[in-house]
Structure 1
Amino acid sequence: MLDHIGIDVSDIDRSRRFYAAALAPLGYIMTKDFGQAAGFGVPDGEKKSSDPGGEFWVAKGDPHPPLVHVAFSAASRAAVDAFHVAALAAGGRDNGAPGLRERYHPDYYAAFILDPDGYNIEAVCHAPETG
């Protein structure tokens, strides 16, 4: 349904580095960089968006973190765990360690990070645990 989403950030260089590191375990790469804006998406062969620059954009501006929550799809629970580690190492703040959130559904496995501007960023896997 969605083609892309964008958020304003206070420091484009810091956010570019943060999202490049945090989203790498989920298979996202920086697909476009226009200096004051950067797009992130999956490699062309896996693209789900018609936007040639990516599904997720950050742009220099005035952030409004309380209004925004972005959840990225993860292929596995291990990818959720790796997102959390990478995002913390890149300067994010923990907002919910990896784990089940059964109030949503029995297999909802997610981790939450506050990005450098305070946006609530989530990685979620809906698949059951594999043995």
Structure 2
Amino acid sequence: MIDHIYISVTDIDTASAFYLQALEPLGWKEFGTYSASWGPDDVPDLFGIGDAVYISGTGVGSSIWLRQRNAGETGLYVGIVCDTNDAVDAAYAAAINAGGIDEGPPADRTYFAPGYYAANVADIDGNRLEFVRKAWNPRH
């Protein structure tokens, strides 16, 4: 299951208006922002839009995070749900063994939230995967 996707956009205000209107019939809403000042230097400001389940925290839902595109940037960022920290570790190891590029080994990422455990890799084209376990999500 996909937990979240980062979409790099040229204008946050225009893009957020578009995504909020386009996804409103499906029950998606703005649920908050993440400030780059709260975490490591490589995590940008983010604008969050989520489905009803994601926002309520009652199950495993999905979210989109809009971020300001950097010059020359392309690629996709996809967060993949993992049921356990061991699953995060295993997926990360498999991705590295398959030729993935390390962008952050498995670790607690408490700057996002307590119980957020993740690892990051990129493929040779710069597309990024985050394997993530959120302690508050039920197993699926």
> TM class, shorter-chain normalised?
0.3 to 0.5
TM-score (ref. length: structure 1): 0.47
Work out which of the two has the higher radius of gyration on C-alpha atoms and give 1 or 2. 2
TM-score (ref. length: structure 2): 0.44
